[in-house]
């Protein structure tokens, strides 16, 4: 799973981008009121172990549930029901995440502003949802402000602490993110909090603990969406650990119950790709894009097509990516890491550098440091690139792509031994990237055969 991103529909961590190679989607969607996890909360201890606290500290109230249509009908009948407006706003954020329709975020904000107008004080559900909406738009300083308001008005809301954790993570404040995750699990050790705890360990490269906690999240899953999310993360962890057959089995199992889940299809595509079955990988990528033309799906499909010499087909995906980026620019939003890496590899590296610098000002997250490092390398600024690459890997994240990026930078700076170390780490994940995996093998072969 990519360290840039994130969580189940019942709670987010972290967002889209490529590292492992994909991030968890950053649109942090919170279904307030998932089932309690009977085994008890986990504790993130300073030495990285887990323990069970002696007691729970509270449980948030359940929020209204239902389809968007049902929620629309409800607010029409009950226009002064702040909770229903908040639930509708969150449902719109979820819809935007799965459909890649940015206009839906405007509908989400309108619903949430209505909720806050109806109830301006102590409206924890709407404040939490506003934080999730800001995070989905990659406005993490604003997400942090709303999350702090939500935890102040609802100190027993585990969902509010989930948004707080997500904001701190993307702002590069990892210790504070861990504290928020700890509080969340103390309050309510459910699928959402366990997923975030798993992500905290994944960011630090401890995929064994990340997997164990995600298995617990799977056991606690209260909805089909939570179940699909957990299977997808487990498959992505298998890919990071160089076990594409296990990843394939995990996604196959999950897709029987959720055959149109685009995230599972994209992860299965990467598993097929790692196993050398390009035909099945292309088919899954195309199905995922048809369901939701998200940037990381389009980039994965385009680069796979390019790796197979199908340049015309690759350009179809790249044209959609460029169109999406024009919409982003028009909205004044910072670029995500996929857009930065796409520009570095398929556009103008100097522009990618400018995009990364703008994003880094409000999102100093490890995946952004990596994208900045790669952009600097592609523009010939390798000394500066190495500083950023080191920051990207400072937590110990096991991202094959990050390690390849730093290896190329080390090689450009004339340090083959350092490059070899990173390339060896990158080789753990076969087929980690349609284009760069072959480049990594070629670079390692050249280093090993150079006297």
In this predicted model, what pLDDT tens digit does every residue of 417-441 receive, in sequence order? 999 999 999 999 989 999 999 999 9
- Report yes or no on 99 lying in a domain: yes
- Shared-domain flag, residues 57 and 196: yes
Q: How much of the chain exceeds pLDDT 90, in percent?
A: 80
Tens of pLDDT, residues 205-222: 999 999 999 999 999 999
Domain with 74, as residue range(s), is: 43-214
Q: Is the dihedral of CA 142, 148, 150, 152 positive or negative?
A: negative
What's the pLDDT at 430? 87
* Strand 50-51 relative to strand 43-44, pairing: antiparallel
Tens of pLDDT, residues 98-128: 776 778 999 999 999 999 999 999 999 999 9
- Report yes or no on 331 lying in a domain: no
- Report yes or no on 371 lying in a domain: yes
What's the pLDDT at 133? 95
- Report yes or no on 143 lying in a domain: yes
- Report yes or no on 123 lying in a domain: yes
Cα(271)–Cα(316) distance, rounded to whole angstroms?
A: 23
Number of domains in the chain: 2
pTM above 0.95, yes or no: no
Mean pLDDT in residue range 22-32: 35
- Report yes or no on 368 lying in a domain: yes
> What 3-state DSSP class applies to 43?
strand
Query: Which domain-ending residue is among 186, 214, 242?
Result: 214
Residue 41 has pLDDT above 90, yes or no: no
- Shared-domain flag, residues 343 and 206: no
Cα(157)–Cα(432) distance, rounded to whole angstroms?
A: 38
Mean pLDDT in residue range 344-372: 98
Average pLDDT, the chain: 87
- Report yes or no on 160 lying in a domain: yes
Tens of pLDDT, residues 252-293: 999 999 999 999 999 999 999 999 999 999 999 999 999 999
- Shared-domain flag, residues 58 and 198: yes
Q: Assign residue 379 the CATH number of its domain.
A: 1.25.40.10
Query: Which domain-ending residue is among 199, 214, 229?
Result: 214
Query: Which domain-ending residue is among 190, 214, 238?
Result: 214
Mean pLDDT in residue range 376-385: 98
Record the tokens describing residue 56, joined without a space.
């729970």
Tell which residue, 106, 366, 433, has the closest CA to residue 441: 433
Segment among 135-139, 313-317, 344-348 with least mean pLDDT: 135-139
Q: How much of the chain exceeds pLDDT 70, in percent?
A: 85
What's the pLDDT at 47? 35
- Report yes or no on 305 lying in a domain: no
């Amino acid at each position: 799973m990519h360290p840039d991103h994130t969580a189940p529909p019942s709670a987010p961590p972290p967002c889209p981008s490529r590292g492992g190679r994909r991030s968890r989607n950053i649109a942090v969607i919170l279904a307030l009121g998932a089932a309690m996890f009977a085994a008890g909360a986990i504790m993130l201890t300073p030495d990285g172990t887990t323990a069970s606290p002696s007691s729970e500290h509270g449980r948030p109230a359940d929020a209204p549930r239902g389809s968007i249509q049902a929620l629309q009908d409800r607010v029409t009948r009950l226009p002064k029901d702040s909770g229903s407006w908040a639930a509708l706003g969150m449902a719109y954020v979820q819809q935007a995440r799965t459909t890649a329709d940015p206009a839906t975020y405007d509908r989400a904000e309108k619903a949430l502003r209505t909720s806050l107008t109806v109830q301006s004080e102590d409206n924890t559900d709407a404040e939490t949802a506003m934080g999730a909406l800001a995070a989905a738009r990659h406005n993490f300083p604003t997400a942090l402000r709303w999350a702090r308001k939500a935890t102040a008005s609802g100190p027993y809301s585990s969902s509010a602490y989930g948004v707080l954790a997500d904001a701190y993570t993307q702002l590069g404040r990892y210790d504070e993110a861990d504290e928020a995750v700890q509080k969340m699990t103390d309050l309510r050790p459910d699928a959402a909090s366990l997923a975030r705890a798993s992500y905290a360990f994944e960011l630090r490269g401890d995929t064994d603990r990340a997997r164990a906690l995600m298995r617990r999240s799977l056991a606690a899953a209260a909805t089909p969406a939570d179940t699909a999310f957990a299977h997808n993360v487990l498959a992505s962890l298998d890919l990071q650990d160089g076990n594409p057959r296990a990843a394939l089995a995990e996604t196959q199992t999950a897709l029987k119950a959720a055959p149109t889940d685009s995230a599972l299809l994209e992860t299965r595509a990467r598993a097929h790709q790692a196993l050398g079955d390009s035909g099945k990988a292309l088919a899954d990528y195309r199905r995922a894009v048809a369901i939701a033309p998200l940037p990381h799906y389009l980039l994965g499909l385009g680069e796979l097509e390019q790796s197979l010499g199908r340049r015309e087909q690759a350009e179809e995906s790249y044209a959609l990516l460029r169109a999406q980026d024009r919409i982003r620019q028009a909205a004044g939003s910072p670029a995500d890491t996929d857009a930065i890496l796409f520009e570095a590899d398929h556009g103008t590296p100097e522009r990618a550098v400018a995009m990364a610098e703008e994003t880094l000002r409000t999102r100093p997250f490890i995946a952004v440091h990596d994208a900045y490092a790669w952009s600097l390398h592609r523009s010939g600024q390798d000394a500066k690139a190495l500083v950023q690459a080191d920051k990207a890997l400072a937590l110990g994240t096991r991202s094959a792509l990050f390690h390849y990026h730093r290896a190329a930078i080390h090689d450009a700076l004339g340090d083959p031994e350092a490059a070899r170390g990173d390339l060896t780490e990158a080789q753990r994940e076969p087929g980690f990237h349609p284009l760069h995996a072959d480049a990594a093998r070629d670079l390692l072969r050249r280093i090993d055969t150079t006297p």
